[in-house]
Copies of this chain bind each other. A is one copy, B any other.
Amino acid sequence: MTLSAHTEISELDSARTLFRDELIGAGLLVPSSVEGLYGRSGEFEDIIDIIDEHVKAAGEAEHGRKAPRFRFPPVFPREAFERTDYIASFPNLTGAINTFDGDNKAHAALLAERSDGKDWDHFLESAGTMLVSAACHPAYSMLTGTLPEGGKLLDIYGYCFRHEPAVDPARMQAFRMHEYVRIGTPDDAVAHRERWVERGLQVLADLGLEAEAVIANDPFFGRAGRMLAANQRNENLKTELVVKLYGDLDDGTAVVSCNCHRDHFGHTFAIDTADGRPAHSACVGFGMERIALAMLRTHGLDRRKWPSAIAV
């Protein structure tokens, strides 16, 4: 997203703030003291459920019942996080978990500093765990070794965390992603990505959303990241399905992401195909909250007035 003038940024931020306030006013989201963290109402969750029925139907249409389901908690081992190399590319989005491992005396000192209004984080240390950044990350450790002939297919759904506080309700720090992940040969991975671009567009169309597939890149960090982003685009490794939540004020919000990882995870998690080569992988990720927000933006905040074909 490139913005040419300061006034545009301001108009866009106003539109985002207004949408957020409407969602809160309608009781769909519950605000917190931290930007990007919201409670969800039951009604919001009902929309998530509707979306997931469509995602599951698409998964079954594409894969039959061949994709075993795995549901990981929002926390996973540092050791597996290290293998994703996420800290190299997205350090600013990372969530590392610290805890207190001291004795009575250290705890007393912590509480004393706390009651003096001081910071107590220096009493904590790493818990050896991280927040999950992409729903599929905890899954690759299962696959270390040699894949069966034909590779693997996984259905994964879970909470993700990305530290990027923002006023835009579509940029949450904690959100859910439903993924179909393919691990196999280079051709398997490419085909999976390609087919899910079409399937993903169909899911969004069925939900009454006007979406478009665009070549995209991840928000790689820093100077070195600019080159990684350019490579990702040049090699056509990421396609996002975007919906315009804010008219022409920006290029749209990515609600589904179709990614080819090449042999990145095959390499770092030591996953080989049956013929002994590093496995390639690809995934499609449905951003559940973003799709819900796109539906609320498109069809209105009052679900009773939604087109009957959509409201299941």
Partner of A95, one of B71, B98, B103: B98
Instruction: Say yes or no: A96-B98 contact (C-beta < 8 A), given A40-B70, A87-B110, A138-B39.
Output: yes
A206 is an interface residue with CB less than 8 A from chain B? no
Query: A residues bordering B, Cβ < 8 Å?
Result: 30, 32-34, 37-42, 44-45, 68-77, 79-80, 87-88, 91-104, 107, 110-111, 114, 119-121, 123-129, 131, 138-139, 141-142, 155, 159, 161, 163, 172-175, 221-224
Report yes or no: A92 in contact with B101, Cβ–Cβ below 8 A. Answer: yes
Q: Which 7 A-B pairs have the closest CB atoms?
A: A42-B69, A73-B174, A91-B100, A34-B77, A99-B163, A74-B74, A104-B222
Chain B residues within an 8 Å CB radius of A141: 32-33
- Please indicate which of the listed interface residues A79, A95, A172 has the most CB atoms of chain B within 10 Å of its own CB: A95
Instruction: Please measure, in the bound complex, the distance between the C-alpha atom of A92 and the C-alpha atom of B98, giving whole angstroms.
Output: 10
CB-nearest residue of chain B to A88: B111
Q: Is the CB of B95 within 8 A of A39?
A: no
Contact of A75 with B121 at beta-carbon distance under 8 Å, contacts A91-B100, A92-B101 already known: no
Q: Are A74 and B174 in contact (CB under 8 A)?
A: yes
4 new A-B contacts, CB < 8 A, other than A34-B128, A104-B223, are A41-B69, A75-B95, A97-B131, A107-B222
Contacts of A126 in B (CB 8 A): 119, 121
